């Protein structure tokens, strides 16, 4: 079964940190570009960060620059999103997704998605 499973979401206070995991099954994720996206209620989905098959990262959202980082553990077939200095506006469902090509700025190029994990930043 091809599968991407996000985990690590939850409730955190402003200024706090979370690490999200994107665990892949049925394929080797280091051969693909893996992107993190998020969608808040009533808002359109936006790209956050992406890692290509060469381990290079691409930043999609200026709002997370310097606060979020993407990393990969090939042995665990998992990509992580480390989120620091969280703000209420970071509240969203966070998704990871696979692109067969590269870290495209267009989310339509990511054709395989996980189910998402909820991140809520609130005091």
The token pair that represents 72 in the structure block: 């990969």
Asked if the model's pLDDT at residue 105 lies above 90, the reply is no
Query: Residues 26-48: pLDDT tens digits?
Result: 999 999 999 999 999 999 999 99
- β-bridge mates for residue 19, sequence order: 82
Average pLDDT of the chain is 96
Query: Residues 75-91: pLDDT tens digits?
Result: 999 999 999 999 999 99
**Nearest one of 60, 63, 62, 67 to 82, comparing CA atoms:** 67
DSSP-derived 3-state class of residue 27: coil
Count Cβ neighbours within 10 Å for each residue of 73-85 and write b for 16 or more, e otherwise. Answer: eeeebbbbbebee
With a pLDDT cut of 70, the percent of the chain lying above it is: 100
Query: How much is the pLDDT for 101?
Result: 84
């Amino acid at each position: 079964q091809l599968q991407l499973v996000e985990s690590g979401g939850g409730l955190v206070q402003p200024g706090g940190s979370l690490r999200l995991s994107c665990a892949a099954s049925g394929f080797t994720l280091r051969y693909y570009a893996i992107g993190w996206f998020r969608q808040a209620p009533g808002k359109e989905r936006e790209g956050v960060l992406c890692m290509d098959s060469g381990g290079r990262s691409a930043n999609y959202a200026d709002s997370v620059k310097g606060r979020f980082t993407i990393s990969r553990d090939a042995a665990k077939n998992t990509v992580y999103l480390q989120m620091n200095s969280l703000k209420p506006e970071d509240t969203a469902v966070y998704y990871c997704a696979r692109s067969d090509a590269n870290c495209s700025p267009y989310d339509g190029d990511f054709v395989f998605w996980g189910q998402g994990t909820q991140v809520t930043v609130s005091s």
